[in-house]
Amino acid sequence: MQTTIELKVKDSFIEDIRRGLPLINKDAIINEQALKEEGSIIDLVDSRRGFLARGYYGRQNKGIGWVLTNKQEAIDFSFFQQKILKAINKRKGFYQNEETTAFRLFNGEGDGIGGLTIDYFDRYYLINWYSDGIYSFKEQVIQVLDNLGDYKAIYEKKRFDTKGKYMEDDDFVKGERGEFPVIVKENGMRYAVYLNDGAMVGIFLDQRDVRKAIRDKYAKGKHVLNTFSYTGAFSIAAALGGADKTTSVDLAKRSKAKTIEQFSVNGLDFEQHDIRVMDVFDYFQYAKRHQLKFDMVVLDPPSFARSKKRTFSTAKDYPKLLMDTIEITAKNGIIVASTNNASFGMKKFKGFVEKAFKQMKTGYKIVEEYHLPADFQVNRQFPQGNYLKVLFIQVK
C-alpha cells in the first residue's frame, strides 16, 4: 500500500489548485516536512482539511510533485491505464501516418501525469522518468504499455539523481533488445535513433514541424549554417529540401560521425556538406574573418552550456548570439532562432530579437513562429510546459 500524506495548502494558493494548476510548489505548502518517501500519494487540503486535489511526491527542479486528479480516486494501474490510453487516442493520426514513425505518445502534465513522458520510435517505447517519485509507479506504467501488445521493446531514461540507488545502468526494460540504430521516419525524412546510448537519442521530436518547414519552404538553393547542430537533423531537412550546401557546427566530437550517419541513412552524400567539430562562437569569428554570408542560419542552442572557454545561458546571452548571427547572414536571409528555455516566454524572446537587430542597426521581419507540435500536449494551466519557441526571421 502506498502511503497518503495530507499537505496543507496556503490560502493564497488554493485558487491555483482549484483552477487546475498541475505543479505542486513547495511555496504553496504549509507542512512540507510531512513528506518522507518519494512516490507517496499527496492529498492537498485546505486549512480545514477539505480535499482539494490528489497527486504524488516527486522532486524535480520545478516543484515537489504533481497533481494527478481533483477526485479522491485510487492512483493505481487503472488510473495509469486510463491516462495513457486517452493520450494514445489523441495521437491516432500519428499511428496511422506511415511517413512519421516517431512521436511523443505521452507528454507529462499535458497528458495528466507530470514527470513522465513516453516517446514512440517505430514500435519501441522510450519512457523518461523525471523523479524518483514517478519512478515508483514503474510497474503500472510498464504494464499498461505491455498490454498494448505489438511492440518491440521498452527502454527508459532516469532523468533524476538516482544517488546510486538503482544499480543497473542499462536503459532496456522489456521486450526484445533492439539493434541500434533504429531508423525512424519523420515526414518522409529518416533519422537514426539510439535508445541505449545516453540521455539524447539522436533526434529531438519537438522540432518536427520546424524541420518540415525548413525542408518544404526555406531550404531550396540556400547555403545553410546549422549551429549547435548535434546530429545535424536540421541540416538533413535542409539538404532534402534542396539546399545547395549545409554547414553543421557542434563542439561535441561525436557529432561529426552522428551527422555523417544521418546524411547517409537519407541517401545524401555527406561529402558535399561541411561538418565541423568546433565551438560555435569560434566559428562565428572564423566566418567573419572570411566574410562568409549564409542564406539561412539555424540557432538552436541548449538552455545552458559550459565549454572550456565560456558559459552560455540563453536567458542572458541570446541577444549576443543573434548579433553574431546577423553579421554572417545575407540580406533577405533567414535566421531560425529557437530556444527550449522554459524560464521565459515568447514575448521576452521577441524582445531579444528586437534588441539584437536594433544594436546591429538592421531591419527584420518575423515571418513565422512555432511552438510545440501537437503530440507535445500542453496543460493550459501550466504554460511553462509550452517551452519551445521558434522564430523564422528575415533579415532586411
Only one of the segments 60-68, 298-306, 317-325, 378-386 lies at the binding site for ligand SAH (rule: CB under 6 A); that segment is 298-306
Residue 300 binds ligand SAH, judged by CB under 6 A:
yes
Are the CB atoms for 172 and 153 separated by under 8 Å?
yes
Q: Does residue 218 belong to the site contacting ligand SAH (CB under 6 A)?
A: no
| Count of positions on this chain that bind ligand SAH (CB under 6 A) | 20
Q: Considering the rule CB under 6 A, would residue 307 count as an interface residue with ligand SAH?
A: yes
Whether residue 193 contacts residue 203, with contact meaning beta carbons closer than 8 Å, is answered with yes
204 binds ligand SAH (CB under 6 A): yes
Is residue 370 part of the contact set for ligand SAH (CB under 6 A)?
no
250 binds ligand SAH (CB under 6 A): yes
Q: Which is nearer to ligand SAH, 136 or 229 (CB)?
A: 229
Cα separations in angstroms, 115 against 43, 128, 320, 361: 18, 8, 33, 44
What distance in Å separates the CA atoms of residue 253 and residue 277, rounded to the nearest whole number?
6
Q: Cβ–Cβ contacts within 10 Å for residue 16, how many?
A: 15
Question: Does 257 participate in binding ligand SAH (rule CB under 6 A)?
Answer: no
User: At residue 190, what is the residue type?
Assistant: R
Among 144-152, 245-253, 267-275, 354-362, which window interacts with ligand SAH (CB under 6 A)? 245-253
Contact 390, 218 (CB under 8 A): no
Distance CA(342)–CA(372), nearest Å, equals: 12
> Of the two residues 103 and 281, which places its CB atom closer to ligand SAH in the complex?
281
- Asked if 255 touches ligand SAH (CB under 6 A), the answer is yes
**74, 85, 252, 367: which one contacts ligand SAH (CB under 6 A)?**
252
Enumerate residues 6+ apart whose C-beta is below 8 A from 198.
none
Q: What are phi and psi of 43, to 5 degrees?
A: -105, 120
Cα torsion 159, 164, 167, 169 to 10°: value is 40
Chosen residue from 175, 302, 345, 351 binding ligand SAH by CB under 6 A: 302
**Chain positions contacting ligand SAH, by CB under 6 A:** 204, 207, 228-231, 233-234, 249-252, 255, 279-281, 300, 302, 305, 307
